């Protein structure tokens, strides 16, 4: 937390102390009985109720228990560092992300290569507690730190021809040894429609659990699109391009019958090889029902009013 504050100058009131996440539940159950100074700090309590605006309150998944931080940082999908769930943590230990830049191009008035800190400096970092539902039918609840993607995209002044936004992960087989094997068509690519990209739930994230983004979770900057399957939330982004045509995406290129462009979480549309009706929440024993749009139906269903979600899976 201290590190992230230094690098992006987050206003004090924008960051919740890490201990608060971990112990929020205990706090609710035993408020007043735990002696921890941080827990009972009136500033922290005031922040929880005053700083979170109406919209944020609505989108934060307050009923779901936050996934254990150790689980969220040791059970990962990040094929650039290996295909096993425990590979990314082990193989990304020495991945350096200093002086990171994002190159912006395509249909916009301000194409350029931007330093990461310059992109984030104008905006307060927000905390967003979101469900993450992997297409493999497991899920987590993660407290992200970031800025709505739309706030940052606006600065590039997309033209009227910009219908989609394409994202690209770093391609460097030396730094990302998983890229030495052709398990995917590197670099990893993802894309959103403009309306999805500027939707207030879509986050450009630089941290989680009150800290800078761990390498295995997509350091230093990744996308978080909570109503879509996890693979849309592309990690370690170095390129953003505004396009008129729908951009190619890695998983769709790998298997178009299994991974559609939209990939909205939808319990009614099964993966060809398994059901999407239920999911295993990491840390829980029993499976739970998967929710339409991963529980964000009220916020995002309107984006798809004119779309057949079975055809456009
Ligand atoms: N560049 C890149 N981004 C990626 C992936 C990947 O392999 N490479 N895996 C995706 C998948 S399948 C999921 S479920 C999420 C996992 O994010 P997490 O490890 O932070 O939970 O990242 C997504 N973003
Ligand atoms: Mo995934």
DSSP string, 267-298: TTS-BTTB--SEEEETT-SS-EEPPGGGGTHH
Is the pLDDT at 168 greater than 90? The verdict is yes
- Cα of 72 vs centre of ligand 1, distance in Å, is 12
In the numeric block, the tokens 């941290």 are attached to 207
Q: Which ligand approaches the C-alpha of residue 184 most closely?
A: 1
Backbone φ and ψ for 239, nearest 5 degrees, come out as -140, 140
Q: Which residues line ligand 1 (CB under 6 A)?
A: 76-80, 132, 134, 169, 188, 217-218, 230-231, 233-236
State how far the Cα of 38 lies from the Cα of 18, in Å rounded to an integer: 10
φ/ψ (deg, to 5) at 277: -70, -30
Q: pLDDT per residue over 229-268, tens digit each?
A: 999 999 999 999 999 999 999 999 999 999 999 999 999 9
Alpha-carbon span 1 to 207, nearest angstrom: 9
* Mean pLDDT (whole number) for 9-18: 40
Q: In the prediction, which pLDDT does 117 show? A: 87
For the domain 12-300, what is the CATH code? 3.90.420.10
The pLDDT value given to residue 17: 41
pLDDT single digits (tens) 29-81: 333 333 333 333 333 333 322 222 333 433 455 579 999 999 999 999 999 99
* Arithmetic mean of pLDDT, 171-176: 98
Measure the N-to-C terminal CA separation of the chain; round to a whole number of Å.
Answer: 38
């Amino acid at each position: 937390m201290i590190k992230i504050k230094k690098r992006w100058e987050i206003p004090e009131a924008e960051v919740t102390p890490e201990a608060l996440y971990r112990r929020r539940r205990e706090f609710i159950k035993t408020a007043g009985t735990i002696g921890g100074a941080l827990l009972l700090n009136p500033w922290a309590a005031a922040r929880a109720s005053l700083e979170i605006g109406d919209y944020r309150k609505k989108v934060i998944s307050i009923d779901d228990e936050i996934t254990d931080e150790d689980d969220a940082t040791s059970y990962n999908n990040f094929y650039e560092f290996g295909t096993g769930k425990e590979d990314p943590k082990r193989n990304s230990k020495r991945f350096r992300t200093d002086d990171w830049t994002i190159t912006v191009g395509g249909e916009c008035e301000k194409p350029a290569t931007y330093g990461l800190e310059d992109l984030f400096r104008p905006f307060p970092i927000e905390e967003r507690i979101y469900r993450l539902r992997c297409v493999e039918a497991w899920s987590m609840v993660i407290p992200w730190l970031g800025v709505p993607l739309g706030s940052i995209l606006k600065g590039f002044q997309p033209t009227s021809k910009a219908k989609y936004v394409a994202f690209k992960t770093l391609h460097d087989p030396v730094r990302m040894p998983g890229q030495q094997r052709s398990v995917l068509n590197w670099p990893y690519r993802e894309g959103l429609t403009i309306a999805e990209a500027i939707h207030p739930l879509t986050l450009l994230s630089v941290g989680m659990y009150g800290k800078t983004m761990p390498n295995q979770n997509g350091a230093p900057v990744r996308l978080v699109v909570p109503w879509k399957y996890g693979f849309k939330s592309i990690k370690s982004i170095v390129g953003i391009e505004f396009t008129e045509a729908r951009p190619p995406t890695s998983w769709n290129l790998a298997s178009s019958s299994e991974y559609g462009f939209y990939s909205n979480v939808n319990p009614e549309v099964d993966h060809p090889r398994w059901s999407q009706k239920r999911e295993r929440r990491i840390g829980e024993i029993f499976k739970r029902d998967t929710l339409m749009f991963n529980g964000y139906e009220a916020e995002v269903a309107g984006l798809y009013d004119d779309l057949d979600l079975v055809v456009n899976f």
